[in-house]
Structure 1
Amino acid sequence: MSTVRNGPLVGLIVQFILLAGLAVTVGIGVSGWLAGLAYGVALAGLLRRGLRAAGADRLAPADRVTLARALLVGGVLALVVPGPGGPAPVAVLVPLAALALALDAVDGGVARRTGTASALGARFDMEVDAFLILVLSVHLAPSVGGWVLAIGGMRYAFVAAGWLLPWMRGTLPPRYWRKVVAAAQGLVLVVAAAGVLPPVAATALVAGALALLVESFGRDVAWLWRHRRGRPLAARPGYPMAAPVRPPGASARAPGSTRAASSRSGPGASPARR
């Protein structure tokens, strides 16, 4: 089981190296260091736990891509945390976030080509997506307004609701629009963070993304409510069976993907694309 230990450990070491590089080049301050290191330690611990629970002795090829994305998100987090150097350097933050989003289109393809799709990989991918959107929302809150935090927090609110309301834990049928809306959130937040648009236009763009997200979540909540006392989903014609995922204790995939997960209550209320 040495690879179970080494995979997450290597990720933690690379996270430290990335943080050191950011500290030397743009400066992240003590708060950035603490946030980045805490994130790296939590990531390594949760990933090791997930591997053990899945009975896996190593990271699959696609999971390594997702781990690279997760480490980039750790760098974004360290830049976003307020420090003595002032606002986060957009010239570094935006490329890191954009690369993390771009790699989201890679890990799923790797999983399908190598035949190594897994529930762990899907969960890992979803959580990375959700946390990146949360971090970007926090970064934009001072300039756009506190309401933008609803974009990053909505998925977590959905999961929390599932802890309190059993009917919210149901498995949702695949829906392509859910994937489109999720992709739009990351793209819009990165564009807004880049500062290439006038403030009014950036605010309007983010507001539009939030409206789409509310519509998507609202439709899923309504579906779960309507089917709260119905027959199990497996017995309903026309709905592919997908294994329910319990609330976490790191987005729905495109139809046909081997790493599909249809439930918002699981790995990512913001649907990912693996």
Structure 2
Amino acid sequence: MQVLLARRALVDVAVAMAGFLVSGSWILNVAGAEVTYFLAAMGAGLAVLGNAAASVLSRKPLLTTAADRITLIRAVLVSCCAAIVIPALFGGTGPGVPVVVLGAAAFLLDAVDGAVARRFACESPAGGRLDVQTDAALVLVLSCAAVPIVGPWVLAVGLMWYAFVAAGWFRPELKRTLPVKRLRKVIGAYQPCALLLALTPGVPGGITTAAVVLALVALLASFGRDVVELEQGHRKWTGRHSGTELVN
């Protein structure tokens, strides 16, 4: 049985890779991307999808669920967004409607994979990590796409999660599991919404800037609160195990 599950997981990853290679190549060919831009764009897309594939292939035991397959579809959509964004960045122009459409599809499917996981009782930490990584990749790609429209500072929105993960390499306490909070989910869902609004053609600049500024402020507050909570939890744990009383 485990051999069959592992084989299915490998097939799922291979199908996702093939799906991006075909769709990404087609999109770039239709857009008339030059060879240099084509290679850079496909490389960016493969980097996004490769991270998702690595997350699946590193599982022990190796398997995928119905929810994971939907998340892999989301990863393919995000990879296509990344492929579109690269030529636009080199050209100094906005990526246009295709990124908005594909990004919105990837965002909306986030609700689907969660519902499927709950419906079929296939929720798992590995599936959760894959979902979070895909969410973070979507926000980063949309942030890059918004640079010509909003400005370079918008990259702070896309890089925030990666900075938090990197901080965990130096401060292991930040790797502890946080309790689920609705506000964190709302703030997380608002990030792609704000960026998609900024990327939508015809939206006034003042509205897009205000939406993204609010996204950045909310994200800073959310991560700041999480860091404080994790550090306080660490001090309480240390105090209990060392006999030291901590006063908060």
State whether TM-score is above 0.5: yes
Measure the CA separation in 2 of the matches of 1:20 and 1:12.
Answer: 12
- In the alignment of these two chains, the number of paired residues is 228
TM-score (norm 1): 0.77
Following TM superposition, the consecutive aligned residue runs of length 4 or more in structure 1 with deviations greater than 6 angstroms are none
Deviates more, 1:145-154 or 1:220-229: 220-229
Distance in 1, matches of 2:131 and 2:52, equals 12
Query: In structure 2, what is the equivalent of residue 220 of structure 1?
Result: 226
2:183 is matched with 177
Q: Give the alignment partner of residue 10 of structure 2, picking from 5, 13, 17.
A: 5
Establish whether residue 105 from structure 1 lines up as the match of residue 111 from structure 2.
Answer: yes
Rounded Cα–Cα distance in structure 1 between residues aligned with 2:83 and 2:233: 42
Corresponding residue of 1:34: 43
Q: Aligned to 2:171, which of 140, 165, 168?
A: 165
Provide the residue aligned with 1:69 in structure 2. Answer: 74
Q: Which of the two has higher C-alpha Rg?
A: 2
User: Which residue of structure 2 aligns with residue 126 of structure 1?
Assistant: 132
Could you tell me whether the CA contact under 8 Å between 2:93 and 2:148 is conserved in 1? no
**What stretches of structure 2 of length at least 5 have no aligned partner?**
239-248
Structure 1 residues 216, 37: closer, same or farther in 2, change over 3 A? closer
Tell me the distance in 2 between the aligned counterparts of 1:188 and 1:143: 13
Equivalents in 2 of 1:46, 1:225: separation in Å?
Answer: 27
Answer whether contact 1:168 1:225 (CA < 8 A) is retained: yes
Give the 3 Å change call, closer, same or farther, for CA 89–137 of structure 1 in structure 2: closer
- Once the two structures are superposed, what CA deviation does each residue of 1:79-135 show, in whole Å capped at 9, x if it has no partner? 011367763541211100000000001001111111211111111111000011011
Shift of 1:17: 1.3
1:20 paired with 2:25, answer yes
Deviation at residue 139 of structure 1 after TM alignment: 1.4
* CA distance, structure 1, for counterparts of residue 32 and residue 82 of structure 2: 13
Q: CA deviation at 1:153?
A: 0.8
Mapped pair 1:56 → 2:65:
no
Task: Specify whether residues 37 and 176 from structure 1 end up closer, same or farther in structure 2 by C-alpha distance, changes over 3 A only.
Answer: closer
Aligned mates of 2:143, 2:51 — CA distance in 1: 21
With over 3 angstroms needed to count, the CA separation of the structure-2 counterparts of 1:121 and 1:207, relative to structure 1, is: same
Q: d(CA) in 2 for partners of 1:78 and 1:162?
A: 29
Identity of aligned residues (%): 39
Partner amino acid, structure 2, of 1:23: L
In terms of mean alpha carbon deviation, does 4-13 or 71-80 score higher?
4-13
> Per-residue CA shift, 1:39-87, capped at 9, x if unaligned?
444443442223xx2x134x21111111100000000000011367763
SS at match of 1:204: helix
TM (normalized to structure 2)?
0.84
Going from structure 1 to structure 2, the CA distance change for 1:191 and 1:42 (only over 3 Å counts) comes to: same
Residue 93 (structure 1) aligned to one of 75, 89, 99:
99
**Secondary structure class of the residue paired with 2:234:** coil
Instruction: State which of 154, 160, 170 in structure 2 corresponds to 1:148.
Output: 154
Aligned partners of 2:53, 2:70: CA distance in 1, in Å? 15
1:69 partner amino acid: R
5 Å-filtered alignment, 1:198-217, equals 198-217=204-223
Distance change >3 Å, CA 34–CA 27, structure 1 → 2: farther
The one-letter code matched in structure 1 to 2:186 is V
Distance change >3 Å, CA 82–CA 76, structure 1 → 2: same
Task: Using CA pairs under 8 Å that are at least 6 residues apart, name the structure with larger relative contact order, 1 or 2.
Answer: 1
Contact 1:27/1:85, CA 8 A, preserved across alignment: no
